[in-house]
A and B are shown apart, each in its own frame.
Chain A
Amino acid sequence: MPNSSAERNEYDVAVIGAGPAGLAAAAAAADTGVSVALVDSGPRPGGQYWRHRTGDDGTHHHDWAEFTRLRARIREVDHLAEHAVWHIEPGFTVHATGRDPVRARRLVLAPGAHDRQLPFPGWTLPGVYTAGGVQALLKGHGVLAGKRIVVAGTGPFLLAVAAGLLDAGAGVAGVFEAGTPAGFARHPLAVAGALGKLGEGAGYLRVVGRRYRTRTMVIAAHGTGELSGVTVAKVDANWQVVPGTERDVACDALAVGYGFTPQLELPLQLGCATRLDADGSLVATADDRQMSTVEGVFLAGEVCGVGGSALAVTEGLIAGRHAAGVSAGSRLLRRRRAQRRFAGALHQAFPLRRGWLDRVGADTVVCRCEEVRHRAVTAAVDDLGATDPRTVKLLARPGMGLCQGRVCGFATACVVADRLGRTLIEADLRGLAARPVAQPVTLGELAG
């Protein structure tokens, strides 16, 4: 289709992120007849949730029908694949590395989230992966991370990862859930029921079955040079180890994750207000229309609160319509309310507990990029008088490396707040989340 928008690189709406939220937003906006660009760093639409390989028939995916429906609806949308956005200027001009700037009158930000990590002894050993990373290797590249894989952390996502691995024929040595989803449901099967509501099927738990252990954590990873095993232990409600329950589990891969960290750099670049969500994440504030506190900037999916793909789709549909200047119907709003209530219940069912902090030894690396150990972080507080994570970052360098605190930011903030004897506040996370450059861009490209 000849598209003058594409020629001028100017659109009514630019959607950033082609996961469930962004696809839905692009589809909903395009349905109203406005010009839409869907901008994503990946080669194919789908985001983390529907990550797939070319020619993938969707057999091993959940909600694949939803994906193909949405994909069909974005035929009129310019999908700008392999556009890694590094900066957005007000107004709005979207800059992606190696690409011409894309201009849009309205934005929908749907950049998603990545696994949240809590440091523990040995977590820098090769063979330790994020849970999402192990899933991405499988879904995106058809590769099993190991022959004997341990899945650990907290949250329903662990079950999805483990089920996917088993489905692909991997050896799964155990699935260790730190929490007891008890406040939410007394029995793991109820978790599965809940997951069913998330659209991911009770099948997960049936597949994972007896490998699923609650109130169990990986407390250390071992190996010379590379991972050869982990120590797991029973923990109490506060995630303190129950003495005498430690045991070693041999494995060549560990998939670990403690919930998700929304990607806040783009909303922060644009000056959007943030808040601390129930799961401890920094998220951008959205109103009923999914609009941020900045006029014309809409939000959908994990950036405004971690809640899974079904909620992300609903938020995307609402954001897409409003970004196109059309209001969303009450059915969508009701659906969102129900899905948010459910996401909130999940956050309550899988909370983080402070026990993990006691196992981060003085020697444990907190920041992987700059190889900053726990002792340097606490020394910045104890000896150098830092009273917030940003000051700690500037004094001891956690979060100053290549990943710019994406991996260690949350944990650093927790360690600092705990050291100062207080709970985590929004400002702690905000102080580590601002990234005026959201993707590495060469100076040569900048200079033009």
Chain B
Amino acid sequence: MTRSDVSDVIVIGAGMVGAMTAYHCAAAGLRVTVLERDAVAGGTTSACEGNILVSDKEPGPELDLALLSIRRWQELADELGADSLEYQAKGGVVVAMSDDTGAGLTAFTASQRAAGIDAQDVSSAQLREREPNLSPDARSGAYYPQDAQVQPMLATARLLRAVRDLGGTVRTGTEVTGFVERGVATSAGIVHAEHVVNAAGTWAGQVSELAGAPVPVLPRKGFILVTEPLPRTIRHKVYTAEYVANVASSDAGLETSVVVEGTKAGTVLIGASRERVGFDRSMSLPVVRKLAAQAIEVFPFLADVALLRSYLGFRPYCPDHLPVLGPDPRVPGLVHACGHEGAGIGLAAGTGHLIAQVLTGKEPDLDLTPFRPHRFEEAPA
């Protein structure tokens, strides 16, 4: 066994979650090896939007993780350079297109404020001050100064670069094919470590089965539209209040509620749909049409703007819509960091921080009980 094949921690998956976990572990002094079957950020991290949101979260454990994550993202932007991650604390604007939705939104923001989110109710006039190109039909809304954005692939690649600079190893093109005593078998031989972190995203269910400790992580398909580059016409991440209802929904059918945002490159991203159709990679025109229509409802000027491309990804979701975090009591040494669904970019910072605390024997800043890996096997109370 060569020295380089022994680490303190193996992280399976070089997506945002794996990279964050590896970075926090390496920064805490652990020897880390990241194993990725594809390329850097080759999974869902290369097929998402990079929103770091608190605005869409209801009070509960996910919100606690989101608040911790948003603080960590801000610190990381200071440590690594906001520009190098294309991190922008641009704030979120949620728009109610009807008075009914507006009333619901006001109630929602009240509950969010109570839970520690900076959620500000705004009038239609204030909305237009924030977003001059917004539809005149927008009735009221909420402003969330904490919402931010990052370029997910770039951030992942930078973090993995930092891991290497801290003495860690990143092996792409290396698939984990099984678990062995204190380590894993890969397509390029056996790698040993005290701990193995399952950060395999939407494929974490398969990896958990290889380990003999299954966790139910399933794909939830989403499309994103990308427009031609525009001047800075959209300042915040803007979405309709209906989005909040969809995120938490368990409906298997198609749901779309639009999130519109500008990027540093000038393109506008329009996302995202949510469908449970397995790993079906086909393009669906009806979904794309619906997203376009919803975006135009919020920003009418987009009707004349060209669609440049579209892409799709598969969110890793668990039946209860919470991620799976922490040591698995069924397999000593196995730790999970997966199932972040449509918020893995945002939640990755807190996730990496907590997993590193666990692996260095510290008390985690957040109670991990709601995220425990074996919760799906427990008899309902």
Tell me whether A and B are bound partners.
yes
Contact B283 A442 (CB under 8 A): no
A78 at the B interface (CB under 8 A): no
A397 contact set on B, CB distance < 8 A: 265
Selected A-B contacts with CB under 8 Å, 29 pairs:
A95-B285, A383-B161, A384-B40, A384-B157, A384-B161, A385-B40, A385-B170, A385-B172, A386-B39, A386-B157, A387-B40, A387-B173, A388-B39, A391-B153, A395-B153, A400-B265, A404-B308, A436-B310, A440-B306, A440-B308, A441-B306, A442-B305, A442-B307, A443-B225, A443-B227, A443-B303, A444-B302, A444-B303, A448-B289
Contact with A395, one of B154, B267, B283, B309 (Cβ below 8 angstroms): B154
Q: Shortest distance in angstroms between A32's beta carbon and chain B's nearest beta carbon? A: 31
Name the residue of chain A whose CB is nearest to the CB of B164: A385
Residues on the A chain within 8 Å of B158, using CB = 384
- CB atoms of B172 and A387 under 8 A apart: yes
Stretch at the interface among B238-246, B292-300, B321-329: B292-300
Contact with B along A73-117 (1 / 0, CB 8 A): 000000000000001011000010000000000000000000000
Interface contact B303-A437, CB-CB below 8 Å: no
- B307 in contact with A443 (CB, 8 Å): yes
**Is B338 in the interface zone, CB < 8 Å from A?**
no
Q: How far is the CA of A395 from the CA of B45 in the complex (A)?
A: 12
Tell me, yes or no, whether A236 is within 8 Å of chain B by CB: no
- A441 CB to closest chain B CB, in angstroms? 5
Chain A, range 377-408, C-beta contacts under 8 Å to B: 380, 383-388, 390-391, 394-395, 397, 400-402, 404
Q: Give the Cβ gap from A293 to chain B, nearest Cβ, in Å.
A: 16
Give CA–CA (A394, B44) in the complex, Å: 13
Chain B min CB distance to A435 (Å): 6
Q: How far is the CA of A380 from the CA of B41 in the complex (A)?
A: 13
Selected contact of A443 from candidates B46, B170, B296, CB within 8 Å? B296
Interface of B is mostly: mixed
Is B53 interfacial (CB 8 A cutoff)? no
> How many angstroms between the C-alpha atoms of A89 and B39 in the bound complex?
30
Task: Report which residue of A397, A401, A402, A436 has the largest number of chain B beta carbons within 10 angstroms of its beta carbon.
Answer: A436
Q: Closest approach, in angstroms, between the C-beta of B132 and any C-beta of chain A?
A: 19
Is A385 in contact with B302, judged by CB distance below 8 angstroms?
Answer: no
Q: Is the CB of B153 within 8 A of A442?
A: no
Residue B288 lies at the interface, judged by CB distance under 8 Å to chain A: yes
Chain A nearest Cβ from B133, distance in angstroms = 14
| CA distance in complex: A446, B225 (Å) | 11
**Contact mask for chain B residues 265-288; partner A; CB cutoff 8 A; 1 contact, 0 none:** 101001000000000001101001
Contact indicator A391/B303 (Cβ below 8 Å): no
Asked if B310 and A443 sit within 8 Å, CB to CB, the answer is no
Q: Does A447 contact B (CB under 8 A)?
A: yes
Partner-A contacts on B (CB < 8 A) = 39-42, 46, 153-154, 157-158, 160-161, 164, 170, 172-173, 225, 227-229, 265, 267, 270, 282-283, 285, 288-289, 292-293, 295-296, 302-311
Q: How far is the CB of B349 from chain A (nearest CB, A)?
A: 19
Indicate if A370 sits at the interface (CB-CB under 8 A): yes
A90-B282, A401-B229 known, 16 other contacts, Cβ within 8 Å: A87-B285, A370-B265, A384-B154, A385-B160, A391-B40, A391-B46, A394-B41, A397-B265, A404-B308, A435-B309, A440-B306, A442-B303, A442-B305, A443-B296, A443-B306, A446-B292
Whether the pair B157, A443 counts as a contact (CB closer than 8 A) is no
Contact for B46 among A95, A394, A437, CB less than 8 A: A394
Rounded to whole Å, the gap between the CB of B285 and the closest CB of chain A is: 6
Q: State in angstroms the CA–CA spacing of A380 and B267 once bound together.
A: 21
Which 10 interchain pairs have the tightest Cβ spacing? A444-B303, A440-B306, A447-B293, A384-B157, A446-B292, A443-B292, A447-B292, A391-B39, A394-B153, A385-B40
Query: Closest approach, in angstroms, between the C-beta of B232 and any C-beta of chain A?
Result: 17
The contact size tier of chain A is 20 to 34
Nearest to A447 among chain B residues (CB) is B293
Q: Is A269 interfacial (CB 8 A cutoff)?
A: yes
Asked whether A437 and B157 contact (CB < 8 A) given A386-B39, A394-B46, A397-B265, the answer is no
A404 and B296 alpha carbons, distance in the complex (Å):
23
For residue B229, which residues in chain A have a CB less than 8 angstroms away from its CB? 401-402
The smallest beta-carbon distance between B142 and chain A, in angstroms, is 25
B164 partner residues in chain A, CB cutoff 8 A: 385
Instruction: Decide if A437 touches B309 in the complex (CB within 8 Å).
Output: yes
Rounded to whole angstroms, the CA-CA distance of A192 and B196 in the bound complex is: 65
What CA separation (Å) do A47 and B70 show in the bound complex?
Answer: 54
Flag if A437 contacts B40 (CB, 8 Å).
Answer: no
Encoded as 1 (CB less than 8 Å from any B CB) or 0, chain A from 412 to 444 comes to: 000000000000000000000001110011111
The distance from the CB of A420 to the nearest CB of chain B, in whole angstroms, is 11
Chain B residues whose CB sits within 8 angstroms of the CB of A442 once the complex forms: 303-307
Q: Which residues of chain B are within 8 angstroms of A380 by Cβ–Cβ distance?
A: 157
State A390–B311 Cα separation when bound (angstroms).
13
Please name all residues of chain A whose beta carbon is closer than 8 Å to the beta carbon of B308 when the two chains form the complex.
402, 404, 437, 440
B296 touching A436, Cβ below 8 Å: no
Contact of B283 with A87 in the complex, beta carbons under 8 Å? yes
Nearest residue, chain A, Cβ from B173: A387
Give Cα distance in the complex from A318 to B246, angstroms.
51
User: Closest residue to A439 on the B side, CB-wise?
Assistant: B306
Find chain A residues with CB under 8 A from B304 CB. Answer: 442, 444
A385 to B, closest residue via Cβ:
B40
* Cβ-defined contact, A269 with B283, below 8 A: yes
Contact (Cβ within 8 A) A387 B265: no
Among A384, A388, A390, A404, the one with the most B-chain Cβ atoms within 10 Å of its Cβ is A384
Complex formed: what's the CA distance from A401 to B39 in Å?
22
Least CB separation from A440: chain B residue: B306
The closest CB in chain B to the CB of A97 belongs to: B306
**What 1/0 mask marks residues of chain A from 220 to 247 whose CB sits below 8 Å from any chain B CB?**
0000000000000000000000000000
With known contacts A391-B41, A446-B292, A441–B309 Cβ distance under 8 A: no
In the bound complex, how far is the Cα of B172 from the Cα of A401, in angstroms? Answer: 27
Q: How far is the CB of B27 from chain A (nearest CB, A)?
A: 18
For A370, give the chain B residue with the smallest CB separation: B265
A89/B285 contact (C-beta < 8 A), A384-B40, A443-B292, A443-B296 known? yes
Instruction: State the Cβ distance, A90 to closest chain B Cβ, in Å.
Output: 8
In the bound complex, how far is the Cα of B229 from the Cα of A380, in angstroms?
22
B245 smallest CB distance to A (angstroms): 22
Contact assessment for B296 and A444 in the assembled complex, using a CB-CB cutoff below 8 Å = yes
A402 to B266, CA, bound (A): 11
State the CA gap A442–B288 with chains docked (Å): 12
B310/A437 in contact, CB under 8 A: yes
